[in-house]
Amino acid sequence: MSVNAKYKDSVFSLLFNNAETLRELYGALEGIKLPHDIEININTLKNVLFKGKLNDVSFVFGTQLVIIMEHQSTINPNMPLRILIYISKIYEKLTASKNVYGSKKLTVPRPEFIVLYNGKDAYPDEQTLKLSDLFADVASLGISREQMLELEVKVYNINVGHNEDKLKQCRTLEDYSIFIAKAREYEAKAAAGRKITELTVDEREKAMTQAIQWCINHNTLEEFLKANSSEVINMLLEEWNLDTALKVEREEGREEGKEEGREEERQNTLFVQHLYEEAQQQYEESQREIERLRAQLGR
């Protein structure tokens, strides 16, 4: 898995790790108001392979809706495949006390998958990524029927100037977008014509401190930044350093696209390893369940 260069992610997870904030966020994105008497349970998955988390935020509304939400500074076309793995693990978690091998029909929460994009590259306000776009072409095998599996991911551009109606419906999301914009602004000022990768740690810390102070002075994430300023700066500096390391590596005489290809290969290797480990774990659990059922049947 590649180094996580998206320094917004950790701050995003910290900021939106709150049931009421998630209620407001989801309502703004979908243009609805969820009743306040519906309980929200956060069930973000944990796994060291994905920087301590399988996903940024996952939460369930009552027993009816399960949401997986990611924040990205680059759009990953493999996101539907990643989320397919996430949702299977979440359903496994949600049905742990139920007999999925029994004859009784189970009801599980309806899933929805959302990516919030806040990168520097141009991107439309909304877009949909589909799992079927990743499927191999089977026309040569004589198969013409439609695929039997689909998964769609909604992508929303949350940069300042995009989806303004949605941002205004969620003050926390709007303030977050402003904070990221200010962080980039002070980063550029600190570079003063130099490459961003040439900034020192002190310069970066000063730029981030200035962005935080500006936001506090302008009532933008004021309480959050006052309470978490040191943690926010540490997270940003840590991931900023990783981001810089990657950029320096790409700039050292490599042909355009070559490093990206190698990085993708490294990601795919670890991703396949993860799939294998998951499949092995599920196989072993299935075998244990089969043995348990056999014991119950007296076989």
Structure tokens at 217: 């002075």
pLDDT in tens, 119-174: 888 999 999 999 999 999 888 888 888 889 999 999 999 999 999 999 999 999 99
Q: What's the start-to-end Cα distance of the chain, in Å?
A: 44
Q: Which of 117, 99, 49 is nearest to 274 (CA)?
A: 49
pLDDT in tens, 191-205: 888 887 788 888 989
58, 40 Cβ separation under 8 angstroms = no
Q: State the greatest distance between any 2 C-alpha atoms of the chain, in Å, as a whole number.
A: 77
Total-model pTM:
0.75
Task: For the beta carbon of residue 175, count every other beta carbon within 10 angstroms.
Answer: 20
With a cut of 90, say whether residue 265 has pLDDT above it: no
| CA–CA dist 272, 231 (Å, integer) | 33
Q: Give the residue, 243 or 185, on which the prediction is more confident.
A: 185
With a cut of 50, say whether residue 52 has pLDDT above it: no
Domain boundaries, the chain: 8-96+108-137+148-252, 257-289
The residue ranges of DSSP E strands in 26-81, in sequence order, are 40-42, 57-61, 65-72
What are the residues facing 59 on neighbouring strands?
42, 67
With a cut of 90, say whether residue 217 has pLDDT above it: yes
pLDDT in tens, 1-24: 333 434 344 688 889 888 999 999
H/E run at residue 244: helix 222-251
Contacts of 219 (CB under 8 A, 6+ apart): none
SS3 51: coil
| CA–CA dist 151, 131 (Å, integer) | 5
pLDDT in tens, 167-184: 999 999 999 999 999 999
